[in-house]
Amino acid sequence: MAALSDKSEDSLAPVTEGPAAGWQGIAHDWSSDKDAFKQVPWGKAMMWIFLLSDTFIFSCFLTGYMSVRMTTTEPWPNPSEVFALTIAGQHIPLILIAIMTFVLISSSGTMAMAVNYAYRRERGKTTALMLATALCGAAFVSMQAFEWSKLIAEGVRPWGNPMGAAQFGATFFMITGFHGLHVSVGVIYLSIVAMKVLRGDYERSGNYQIVEIAGLYWHFVDLVWVFIFAFFYLW
């Protein structure tokens, strides 16, 4: 009788179901307002999703550029001539582009060090390195503005180009301008985060992940420039 009583009590006990597997489990977690990514903070996950969408956009732009360049019947301008500068009487090809690339790639190093010092709670060094990164970005945009001004003065337009194929101006201004917009937004973003770090806003919460999230964005911008540099200036 005791065994039957225990068995009946067990049958009346509430049954707790474990999480469903597969897509049903994902839908259950999202609808229950639980963390869908147990080990990834929401801010970092959303930044990765944004960067993935941005990757698709830049991929479409560069694919379109390759298609236009390979199918045009007019000669494509020689990058070594178009982007050359005359310094002290010497005609130096791609000198400005080389400096721009060096400055932007170097900023990835300062950003990586800023993330390292942020997790060490060294606010002064983190702020200085983030501002140095933003300064490199501002220098890059300034040099890009000079490059644009030079080409516009030489007659390059989105609808025409005296040096060769008319599509050169449209693809150049669209892709480099879109990337320059990303760098400009990054400069503002890093400057705001740096000021908040210096002010101690993240010290109170003990969460410096925002510095790492900003670093993800900046490294992405640098990586995209590597592809633009190869496609526009070396090809």
| Residues of the chain falling short of pLDDT 70 | 1-22, 25-39, 205-206
Instruction: Identify the pLDDT of residue 47.
Output: 93
Instruction: Identify the pLDDT of residue 56.
Output: 95
Give the whole-angstrom CA distance, residue 97 versus residue 117.
31
pTM of the model: 0.81
Instruction: Identify the pLDDT of residue 215.
Output: 95
Instruction: Identify the pLDDT of residue 12.
Output: 47
Amino acid at 23: W
Domains of the chain: 40-234 (1.20.120.80)
